Amino acid sequence: MSDLRDIPLFPLGTVLFPKQLLPLRIFEERYKLMINECLRDQTSFGVVLIKAGREVGGPVVPHEVGTTARIAQAQHLEEGRISLQAIGEQTFRLARITQQRPYMRGEVEFLDSRAGDEAELEDVISSVKQQFSAHLDILSQMSERQRVDLNLDLDPESLSYLVASVLAIENPEKQQLLEIERTDLRLQRELGILGRENSTLQTFLYLKKRGQEQPSDENPLLRRISNN
């Protein structure tokens, strides 16, 4: 195992991907302390998806693979609360938890992303871009919001993380994408997910236009879209 580094950890009910933005509003005392220490020392913190437990309150069990987050902007509010924007940096694997109180810390091993088989990337990237553009169109129609225009002229790794962050899928599947260390394999997995999701969403969109869809508070798919 390579050298380990001890970092503060922020267990959340969301998956952070490298190069993606994470807005946070900090109000728990333990995390106000952690963020203020990061601001003071100009250090990053690790974001890990919660495997068991609740985001607010008691102890949690995190997934082993997470992403470091660099604080790009922070604003102190009333009662010591903090509004901040963080940016995902580098993936890591949690080797062991070294501290639980007042906030979680752990020794982590940073992971190296690999491009994989470059010969297959060109066709896969073209297909991912096409399917992802269709995905954005369908999400816009389903949510009745203006379509978000995203720059897809990115390097393969950045494209794979952008697609993973926007996909209207549940967190366990997003976590699986985060844990894939090869960019080509991540893009191939995303291509399969996009095909599946676009087919499902097209069916729901058809039913929605015919007035047959369930109310959003009863339809888990529509709730999932509204959260993305």
Query: So what's the pLDDT on residue 146?
Result: 83
Kindly write down the DSSP assignment for every residue of 172-219, as one continuous string.
Answer: HHHHHHHH--BHHHHHHHHHHHHHHHHHHHHHHHHHHHTT-PPPTTT-
Query: So what's the pLDDT on residue 214?
Result: 53
How confident is the model over 101-134, as pLDDT tens digits?
Answer: 999 999 999 998 888 777 778 999 999 999 999 9
**222 pLDDT exceeds 60?**
no
- Decide which of 2.60.40.10, 3.30.450.190, 2.40.430.10, 2.30.130.40 is the CATH code for 5-110: 2.30.130.40
Q: Which two tokens stand for residue 48?
A: 């890990």
**217 pLDDT exceeds 70?**
no
User: What number is the average pLDDT over the span 87-91?
Assistant: 97
Kindly write down the DSSP assignment for every residue of 138-185, as one continuous string.
Answer: HHHHHHT-PPP-------HHHHHHHHHHHS---HHHHHHHHH--BHHH
Kindly write down the DSSP assignment for every residue of 126-141, as one continuous string.
Answer: HHHHHHHHHHHHHHHH
**226 pLDDT exceeds 60?**
no
Domain-by-domain residue ranges, the chain?
A: 5-110, 118-226
Question: How many CA within 13 A on the CB side of residue 18?
Answer: 20
User: What number is the average pLDDT over the span 54-82?
Assistant: 90
With tokens 């894939």, the residue in question is 180
How confident is the model over 177-213, as pLDDT tens digits?
Answer: 999 999 999 999 999 999 999 999 988 888 877 775 5
Interstrand relation of 45-52 and 5-12 (parallel, antiparallel or unpaired): parallel
How confident is the model over 11-37, as pLDDT tens digits?
Answer: 999 999 999 999 999 999 999 999 999
User: What number is the average pLDDT over the span 37-47?
Assistant: 97
- Cβ distance 110 to 91 under 8 Å? yes
How confident is the model over 135-178, as pLDDT tens digits?
Answer: 999 888 887 888 878 999 999 999 999 999 999 899 999 999 99
Query: So what's the pLDDT on residue 53?
Result: 82
The residues pairing with 96 across neighbouring beta strands, listed in sequence order, are 107
How many CB atoms within 10 Å of residue 144?
7
Q: What is the pTM of this model?
A: 0.87
Query: So what's the pLDDT on residue 178?
Result: 98
User: What number is the average pLDDT over the span 82-106?
Assistant: 96
Q: Which two tokens stand for residue 24?
A: 């946070």
With CA atoms as reference, report the closest residue to 70 among 88, 84, 83: 88
- For the four alpha carbons of 93, 97, 99 and 101, in that order, the dihedral sign comes to positive
